[in-house]
Structure 1
């Protein structure tokens, strides 16, 4: 298993790298050149930069990821694309996307977009909290280090 991170705006990159290092997994961060960094990462971490543009990172991830890999993303659309490839998908709050829950999430996203197109307002996501991070770390630990 390899771990992929949808890196544009992900608040959990360091958490993933820490836990993946403990468990011995490779990590690939896919991000836009807009987020270029000179930050040094451990040898088991690679960064793939993609061109600016809507969904460029998503398309790259879909092309690279394989059955049995793990994806960290908050993007429901991307999650739905890779679930069909046999990939596990974890949201930054610790929620695991599955074939059973993704359809309702996509439907809610669609209706929210329709409301906004019609001039209405919808609630955005809550700010990322310490509890969200704790839930994420626990969920990731359960996947990567199940015996602990």
Structure 2
């Protein structure tokens, strides 16, 4: 059975993700740490202890080939892709084997600049239509995951 694993800490699209997943007959699971307990009635929530990357590792330990992960974390996305799962961020950008290396490299360069005392731009402000874009892209990804699962 296909699952959608939602990295819910700081995720603005938890409810829409749950609704779309359920309509697509894909089981949603919410992951959060003890400082962000997020619950949706009728949906399994896995709460992990607070700690750097604790939610990421909880997801990584259970994700299977063909599952979908919703996260904004590039590191988690790279590991999810290596397991044959799909990955999308809260703005509708799908992480793929074609774009993940460049995203990780850009993050690395930014970290180096900050470690050296420099400044980098933060993330862009979320656009008003970001939820609509995300929902459209997530629906498409759910459909593709279901088709791929049926072929397998």
TM-score, normalized by length of structure 1? 0.92
Q: What is the 5 A alignment of 1:1-148?
A: 1-37=2-38, 39-41=39-41, 43=42, 45-145=43-143
Aligned length: 143
- Structure 1's unaligned 5+ residue stretches are none
Segments of 4+ moved more than 4 angstroms: none
Structure 1 SS opposite 2:32: strand
Q: Distance in 2 between matches of 1:66 and 1:145?
A: 17
Structural RMSD (CA) = 1.2
Structure 1 SS opposite 2:35: helix
Structure 1 SS opposite 2:99: helix
- Structure 2's unaligned 5+ residue stretches are 145-152
Deviations 1:1-41 (A, max 9, x none): 1000011110010110111122221101111011124x442
Shift of 1:134: 1.4
Structure 1 SS opposite 2:122: coil
TM-score, normalized by length of structure 2? 0.89
Q: Distance in 1 between matches of 2:21 and 2:98?
A: 27
Q: Distance in 2 between matches of 1:73 and 1:40?
A: 18
User: 1:27 and 1:139, CA in 2 relative to 1: closer, same or farther beyond 3 A?
Assistant: same
Q: Distance in 1 between matches of 2:55 and 2:11?
A: 12
Structure 2 SS opposite 1:130: coil
Shift of 1:91: 0.9
